Amino acid sequence: MEISDATVLAKYPAAYIDHDNKVFWKGLLQHRLLINRCEDCGHWHYPYHALCPRCWSDQVAATEVSGRGTVYSRVLFHQGPAVEGINYSKSYPGVSVELAEQPGLKIQTTIVNCRNEDIYIGMPVELTWVERQGVPVPAFQPAPGALPTPEARR
């Protein structure tokens, strides 16, 4: 089903949505993580640009990624804007995930289904979805085998 521009603007009122990136936000409403890929040279880029930053082609297309990646960096937020579903008293993790599609292709997101102390740089993660303010947003969780077993923690 086609999602209208008006719908995506209404669903993500706090987001900066423009002609170049609206397809990204429409993808979120369908639980699809779409990243721009150049159809001429194959280079992925995020955030969205109208031209490929490597070869300057305008043949860029929003392309669904595998949802696999690794934790590139992590911070813990102890305060921030009030958002339903975010509890700063427990420290809210903000991570940069390097997507498996290309070295250096990173997205700012969060980690769920994982204790903050178990998040490590290089941790394999996979895409999942959380609801924030009534709309889906991408998040990541540990990939199978990424966390040590309870026995290994002792």
Give the binding site for Zn ion (CB under 5 A).
Answer: 38, 40-41, 43, 52, 54-55, 57
Q: How far is the CB of 113 from Zn ion (least distance, A)?
A: 36
Question: What is the Cα–Cα distance from 138 to 67, expressed in whole angstroms?
Answer: 10
Q: How far is the CB of 40 from Zn ion (least distance, A)?
A: 5
Which uninterrupted H or E stretch holds 141?
A: strand 135-142
* Among candidate residues 98, 81, 8, 93, the one with its CA nearest the CA of residue 44: 98
Question: Nearer to Zn ion by C-beta: 41 or 75?
Answer: 41
Q: How far is the CB of 129 from Zn ion (least distance, A)?
A: 29
Q: How far is the CB of 20 from Zn ion (least distance, A)?
A: 15
* Among candidate residues 45, 55, 54, 42, the one with its CA nearest the CA of residue 20: 45
Q: How far is the CB of 72 from Zn ion (least distance, A)?
A: 23
Residue 93's Cβ-count burial label (10 Å; 0-12, 13-18, 19+) is buried
